[in-house]
Amino acid sequence: MSHNDQALPFPLRYDTTLEPPKEWAQLRGQCPMATIELPSGDHATLFTRYEDIKILLADARFTRPTAADNAARVAPEGSGGVVANGTVVRPEGEAHQRWRRLVGKYFTAKRMAALRPSMIATTERLIDDMVHKGAPADLKANVGFPLPVYVICDMLGVPADDSYRFSHWSDTILSITSHSQEESGTAMGEFVQYMSAHIEAKRASRTDDLIGMLIRESEGEGQGMSDAELLDTAMGLLVAGHETTANAISKMVAMLLADRTRWEQLLADPSLVRTAVEESLRLDVNHGFGLRRYLPEAAEMAGQTLPAGTTVVCAIASANRDETVFDHADQMDLGRAPNPHLAFSVGSHSCLGQALARTEMQVALETLLRKLPTLELAVPAEELQRMEGMLVGGLREVPVRW
């Protein structure tokens, strides 16, 4: 189809959970810039090729949609989360770079390496608890979800016992069609109230966690973050820590166990863990809805002119299977290097927590290989079910035995 043909319903349909929609390869080859119809009924422009998406994400003219933009809505009227339709204001330009400088120093690879011992201890405890309960067990519920939750809660100085509340709030806020607009608004209000009180308590107690340190850096006129930025940062990090990495760990293990020769390869050569993590990020077809950008002014992309007011959706998972960039792009190569996938985006809005996510995924895989070498899926891979109606992509559960 061409850019001007009838719009494709989006998200595209998946025949199986771990395999890509058949349209991806067709679009990359014939129509890398296609018109799509979102669940709201609004139209947007879908990009599927690696080079186009890489260029677009690094182009400052394409901004993240907010409530102030006339961007295409994702969620239908009366449904969908607060984030789904772009109602959370995020800084752009110099303000965004300033924010990244303030927060980014707490997410360096060196700092993440220092957290490894505690991550390993937590992962071992979670696996032991799962084994004690007996097989079959849901790896997502027992390991994939709680590990990053404990880590981010500890970093932020938030009680891990409240994780069930954070999970409900983040799921609701990131909804497209799985929750109503009223439910999403209520969840956002509760989340704001909780984190506002948490930040005020940190001001009084002067703690050494990430929020406490950001508060101290913000004391003094013109320094650090405003109260609104502190709140947005704390909430954003907590949601990201719950959803993205928790899902990534579970999907990684599912992909490796779907063809158990992959697991056997890692048992034989554990040095492949780091490249296997990167390859699982690249080959993941369940990244979620896709990265959205809004174009306030007309711009040329892929040889065509996009009018001002265009909403763009970047199919990262399609880009990561682009045959012009990756040899044998549809095959899982556990030793693939280099591996310039776009799972963490690129440019000024690349994922700030990517070093944390990588470390958690590596620790989870290393520990599972060591403690549960006989791990296998308890159901056929074809029976795994995707999470639906969410901005983020994941599996409902990953049943395993050992």
Q: What does the pLDDT look like over 113-162, one tens digit per residue? A: 999 999 999 999 999 999 999 999 999 999 999 999 999 999 999 998 89
- Indicate whether 33 pLDDT > 50: yes
User: Is the CB of residue 382 less than 8 Å from the CB of residue 19?
Assistant: no
Read off the tokens for 122. Answer: 């937590």
Q: State residue 365's pLDDT score.
A: 98
The residue whose two tokens read 């961007």 is 71
pLDDT digits (tens, 9 = 90+) for 171-210: 888 888 888 888 888 999 999 999 999 999 988 888 889 9
Read off the tokens for 51. Answer: 């080079």
User: Between residues 360 and 239, which one has the greater pLDDT?
Assistant: 360
State the burial class of residue 210 (Cβ atoms within 10 Å of its Cβ: 0-12, 13-18, 19+). buried
User: Between residues 13 and 36, which one has the greater pLDDT?
Assistant: 36
CA–CA separation, 353 vs 224, rounded Å? 19
Mapped onto helix, strand or coil, the DSSP state of residue 132 is helix
Q: State residue 390's pLDDT score.
A: 85
User: Between residues 133 and 388, which one has the greater pLDDT?
Assistant: 133
CA–CA separation, 83 vs 92, rounded Å? 17
pLDDT tier, 83 (very low <50, low <70, confident <90, very high otherwise): low
pLDDT tier, 163 (very low <50, low <70, confident <90, very high otherwise): confident
- Indicate whether 393 pLDDT > 80: yes
The residue whose two tokens read 């770079």 is 97
Q: What is the DSSP letter of 13?
A: P
Q: State residue 85's pLDDT score.
A: 60
Q: Does pTM top 0.75 for this prediction? A: yes
Q: State residue 268's pLDDT score.
A: 98
Window from 65-79, 135-149, 250-264 with minimum mean pLDDT = 65-79
Greatest mean pLDDT among 152-161, 206-215, 257-266: 257-266
pLDDT digits (tens, 9 = 90+) for 305-342: 999 999 999 999 999 999 999 999 999 999 999 999 99
Taking Cα atoms as reference points, which of 198, 189, 182, 190 lies closest to residue 164? Answer: 190
- Indicate whether 80 pLDDT > 90: no
Neighbour count for residue 233 (Cβ, 10 Å) = 21
CA–CA separation, 289 vs 390, rounded Å? 7
End-to-end distance of the chain based on CA atoms, in angstroms? 47
Window from 1-15, 243-257, 365-379 with minimum mean pLDDT = 1-15
Mean pLDDT of the chain: 90
pLDDT tier, 84 (very low <50, low <70, confident <90, very high otherwise): low
pLDDT tier, 5 (very low <50, low <70, confident <90, very high otherwise): low
- Indicate whether 24 pLDDT > 50: yes
pLDDT tier, 364 (very low <50, low <70, confident <90, very high otherwise): very high
Read off the tokens for 325. Answer: 């960039």
User: Is the CB of residue 53 less than 8 Å from the CB of residue 315?
Assistant: yes
Q: State residue 31's pLDDT score.
A: 92
CA–CA separation, 3 vs 231, rounded Å? 40
- Indicate whether 63 pLDDT > 60: yes
Q: State residue 3's pLDDT score.
A: 47
- Who contacts 93 (Cβ-Cβ below 8 Å, separation ≥6)? 60
pLDDT tier, 39 (very low <50, low <70, confident <90, very high otherwise): very high
CA–CA separation, 241 vs 258, rounded Å? 26
